[in-house]
Protein backbone atom coordinates (compact mmCIF):
# COMPACT_ATOMS: atom_id res chain seq x y z
CA UNK A 1 0.00 0.00 0.00
CA UNK A 2 1.42 3.42 -0.86
CA UNK A 3 3.01 5.33 1.97
CA UNK A 4 1.56 8.84 2.16
CA UNK A 5 3.77 11.90 2.51
CA UNK A 6 4.49 12.79 6.10
CA UNK A 7 2.31 15.88 5.90
CA UNK A 8 -0.52 13.72 4.56
CA UNK A 9 -0.53 15.52 1.23
CA UNK A 10 0.18 14.20 -2.21
CA UNK A 11 1.66 16.23 -5.05
CA UNK A 12 -0.90 18.00 -7.22
CA UNK A 13 -0.76 16.27 -10.58
CA UNK A 14 -1.36 17.49 -14.11
CA UNK A 15 -1.13 14.87 -16.87
CA UNK A 16 0.16 15.73 -20.34
CA UNK A 17 -0.90 13.28 -23.03
CA UNK A 18 1.09 13.23 -26.28
CA UNK A 19 0.42 11.39 -29.50
CA UNK A 20 -3.36 11.50 -29.40
CA UNK A 21 -5.11 10.93 -32.72
CA UNK A 22 -8.40 12.87 -32.63
CA UNK A 23 -11.29 11.18 -34.35
CA UNK A 24 -9.31 8.08 -35.16
CA UNK A 25 -9.35 6.23 -31.89
CA UNK A 26 -10.22 8.22 -28.83
CA UNK A 27 -10.59 5.21 -26.56
CA UNK A 28 -7.03 4.96 -25.32
CA UNK A 29 -6.83 8.67 -24.59
CA UNK A 30 -10.21 8.46 -22.87
CA UNK A 31 -8.79 5.71 -20.66
CA UNK A 32 -5.76 7.84 -19.84
CA UNK A 33 -8.05 10.72 -18.87
CA UNK A 34 -10.45 8.59 -16.81
CA UNK A 35 -7.57 6.95 -14.95
CA UNK A 36 -5.99 10.36 -14.32
CA UNK A 37 -9.27 11.63 -12.86
CA UNK A 38 -10.05 8.49 -10.83
CA UNK A 39 -6.58 8.55 -9.26
CA UNK A 40 -6.76 12.17 -8.24
CA UNK A 41 -5.08 14.23 -10.99
CA UNK A 42 -6.47 17.75 -11.41
CA UNK A 43 -6.44 17.96 -15.18
CA UNK A 44 -5.08 16.57 -18.40
CA UNK A 45 -3.40 18.60 -21.12
CA UNK A 46 -3.91 17.05 -24.55
CA UNK A 47 -1.95 17.50 -27.73
CA UNK A 48 -3.30 17.83 -30.32
CA UNK A 49 -6.47 19.29 -28.76
CA UNK A 50 -9.70 17.29 -29.02
CA UNK A 51 -12.74 19.33 -27.92
CA UNK A 52 -15.13 16.37 -28.26
CA UNK A 53 -13.06 14.31 -25.84
CA UNK A 54 -12.77 17.27 -23.45
CA UNK A 55 -16.57 17.58 -23.46
CA UNK A 56 -17.03 13.90 -22.69
CA UNK A 57 -14.72 14.17 -19.71
CA UNK A 58 -16.56 17.28 -18.50
CA UNK A 59 -19.75 15.27 -18.55
CA UNK A 60 -18.11 12.55 -16.45
CA UNK A 61 -16.91 15.13 -13.89
CA UNK A 62 -20.36 16.71 -13.85
CA UNK A 63 -22.00 13.37 -13.11
CA UNK A 64 -19.43 11.77 -10.82
CA UNK A 65 -17.97 14.85 -9.13
CA UNK A 66 -14.66 16.63 -8.77
CA UNK A 67 -13.14 19.33 -10.92
CA UNK A 68 -11.17 17.28 -13.44
CA UNK A 69 -10.87 18.86 -16.88
CA UNK A 70 -9.15 18.27 -20.22
CA UNK A 71 -7.42 21.23 -21.88
CA UNK A 72 -6.02 21.26 -25.39
CA UNK A 73 -2.46 22.45 -26.01
CA UNK A 74 -0.90 23.06 -29.40
CA UNK A 75 2.71 22.22 -28.53
CA UNK A 76 3.88 19.88 -25.82
CA UNK A 77 7.11 21.82 -25.43
CA UNK A 78 5.22 25.00 -24.47
CA UNK A 79 3.25 23.09 -21.83
CA UNK A 80 6.45 21.64 -20.38
CA UNK A 81 8.26 24.99 -20.39
CA UNK A 82 5.39 26.83 -18.71
CA UNK A 83 4.88 24.26 -15.99
CA UNK A 84 6.08 25.43 -12.58
CA UNK A 85 6.89 22.10 -10.99
CA UNK A 86 8.60 18.77 -11.59
CA UNK A 87 8.23 17.14 -15.01
CA UNK A 88 8.00 13.33 -14.97
CA UNK A 89 8.18 11.43 -18.24
CA UNK A 90 6.91 7.86 -18.01
CA UNK A 91 9.03 5.59 -20.20
CA UNK A 92 10.06 1.95 -20.00
CA UNK A 93 13.67 3.09 -20.47
CA UNK A 94 13.80 5.31 -17.37
CA UNK A 95 14.99 4.80 -13.82
CA UNK A 96 12.88 2.43 -11.71
CA UNK A 97 9.78 3.87 -10.04
CA UNK A 98 10.85 2.56 -6.62
CA UNK A 99 14.03 4.58 -6.81
CA UNK A 100 12.47 7.80 -8.12
CA UNK A 101 9.38 7.80 -5.91
CA UNK A 102 10.79 9.51 -2.78
CA UNK A 103 12.00 12.43 -4.93
CA UNK A 104 8.66 12.69 -6.73
CA UNK A 105 6.74 12.71 -3.45
CA UNK A 106 8.63 15.75 -2.24
CA UNK A 107 7.42 17.93 -5.13
CA UNK A 108 4.24 19.88 -4.49
CA UNK A 109 3.38 19.95 -8.22
CA UNK A 110 4.06 17.35 -10.90
CA UNK A 111 3.47 17.25 -14.63
CA UNK A 112 3.28 13.60 -15.67
CA UNK A 113 3.92 13.15 -19.39
CA UNK A 114 2.63 10.02 -21.14
CA UNK A 115 3.17 9.36 -24.81
CA UNK A 116 2.01 6.80 -27.31
CA UNK A 117 4.33 4.53 -29.25
CA UNK A 118 6.78 7.29 -30.23
CA UNK A 119 7.73 10.37 -28.23
CA UNK A 120 10.12 13.14 -29.29
CA UNK A 121 13.71 12.45 -28.18
CA UNK A 122 13.80 15.99 -26.80
CA UNK A 123 11.32 15.00 -24.12
CA UNK A 124 13.93 12.82 -22.40
CA UNK A 125 16.13 15.89 -21.96
CA UNK A 126 13.36 18.28 -21.00
CA UNK A 127 11.95 16.00 -18.27
CA UNK A 128 13.28 16.30 -14.73
CA UNK A 129 12.63 12.58 -14.23
CA UNK A 130 12.44 9.78 -16.78
CA UNK A 131 10.70 7.04 -14.82
CA UNK A 132 9.95 3.41 -15.69
CA UNK A 133 6.97 1.67 -14.16
CA UNK A 134 8.57 -1.65 -14.96
CA UNK A 135 11.25 -1.90 -17.64
CA UNK A 136 8.91 -3.78 -19.94
CA UNK A 137 6.69 -2.75 -22.81
CA UNK A 138 3.24 -2.10 -21.48
CA UNK A 139 0.59 0.56 -21.35
CA UNK A 140 0.67 4.27 -20.64
CA UNK A 141 -2.71 3.85 -18.94
CA UNK A 142 -1.28 1.22 -16.60
CA UNK A 143 1.92 3.15 -15.93
CA UNK A 144 0.03 6.34 -15.09
CA UNK A 145 -2.42 4.58 -12.78
CA UNK A 146 0.31 2.80 -10.84
CA UNK A 147 2.38 5.97 -10.49
CA UNK A 148 -0.62 7.93 -9.16
CA UNK A 149 -1.54 5.08 -6.83
CA UNK A 150 2.00 4.97 -5.45
CA UNK A 151 2.11 8.76 -5.11
CA UNK A 152 -0.82 8.91 -2.79
CA UNK A 153 -3.16 6.00 -2.98
CA UNK A 154 -6.61 5.97 -4.41
CA UNK A 155 -8.71 8.90 -3.35
CA UNK A 156 -11.87 7.69 -1.67
CA UNK A 157 -13.94 7.14 -4.79
CA UNK A 158 -17.17 7.91 -3.01
CA UNK A 159 -16.14 11.41 -2.03
CA UNK A 160 -15.57 13.37 -5.21
CA UNK A 161 -17.13 16.77 -4.51
CA UNK A 162 -20.39 17.86 -6.08
CA UNK A 163 -21.19 14.46 -7.57
CA UNK A 164 -24.69 13.89 -8.92
CA UNK A 165 -24.19 10.15 -8.48
CA UNK A 166 -22.31 8.14 -5.95
CA UNK A 167 -21.61 4.43 -5.85
CA UNK A 168 -22.38 2.52 -2.69
CA UNK A 169 -19.82 -0.30 -2.72
CA UNK A 170 -21.38 -3.79 -2.79
CA UNK A 171 -20.01 -7.28 -2.62
CA UNK A 172 -22.53 -8.31 -5.25
CA UNK A 173 -24.48 -6.14 -7.67
CA UNK A 174 -24.72 -2.41 -8.27
CA UNK A 175 -26.00 0.38 -6.09
CA UNK A 176 -25.87 4.02 -7.18
CA UNK A 177 -27.21 6.95 -5.15
CA UNK A 178 -28.54 10.11 -6.73
CA UNK A 179 -27.25 12.85 -4.51
CA UNK A 180 -29.64 15.57 -5.64
CA UNK A 181 -26.66 17.78 -6.43
CA UNK A 182 -25.52 19.11 -9.74
CA UNK A 183 -26.01 22.15 -11.88
CA UNK A 184 -28.97 24.40 -11.12
CA UNK A 185 -31.68 23.99 -13.78
Handedness of CA 94, 98, 100, 101 (dihedral sign): positive
Q: What angle do CA 88, 90, 95 make, to 5 degrees?
A: 85
Instruction: Assess contact for 69 and 118: CB atoms under 8 A.
Output: no
Strand 165-167 and strand 176-178: pairing? antiparallel
The candidate with the shortest Cα–Cα distance to 57, out of 24, 31, 18, 21, is 31
| 75 or 124: CB nearest a second copy | 124
User: C-beta of 180: minimal distance to a second copy in Å?
Assistant: 18
For a second copy, which is the closer residue by CB, 9 or 135? 135
- Which is it for strands 12-17 and 109-114: parallel, antiparallel or unpaired? parallel
Of 67, 103, 107, 68, the residue nearest 84 (C-alpha):
107
Closest CB 29 distance from a second copy, rounded Å: 11
- Residue closer to a second copy by CB (options 77, 139) is 139
Element housing 150 (H / E): helix 140-152
CB of 44 to a second copy, least distance (A): 13
Residue 79 or 89 having the CB closest to a second copy = 89
CB 2 to a second copy: min, Å: 7
Write the CB contacts of 46 (distance below 8 Å, at least 6 apart in sequence). 16, 17, 20, 29, 33, 53, 54, 70, 71, 72, 73
54/142 with CB nearer a second copy = 142
Q: How far is the CB of 45 from a second copy (least distance, A)?
A: 18
- Residues lying near a second copy in the complex (CB under 8 A) are found at 1-3, 25, 27-28, 31-32, 34-35, 37-39, 60, 64, 91-98, 124-125, 129-130, 132-139, 141-146, 149-150, 154-155, 157-158, 160, 166-167, 169-176
Give least dist CB 105 to a second copy, A.
Answer: 12
For a second copy, which is the closer residue by CB, 64 or 76?
64
Amino acid sequence: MPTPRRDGRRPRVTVLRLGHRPGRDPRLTTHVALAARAFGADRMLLTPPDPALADRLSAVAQRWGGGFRVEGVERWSDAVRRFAGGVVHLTMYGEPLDRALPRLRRRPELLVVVGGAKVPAELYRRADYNVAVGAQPHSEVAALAVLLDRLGGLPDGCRFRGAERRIVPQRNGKRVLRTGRGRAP
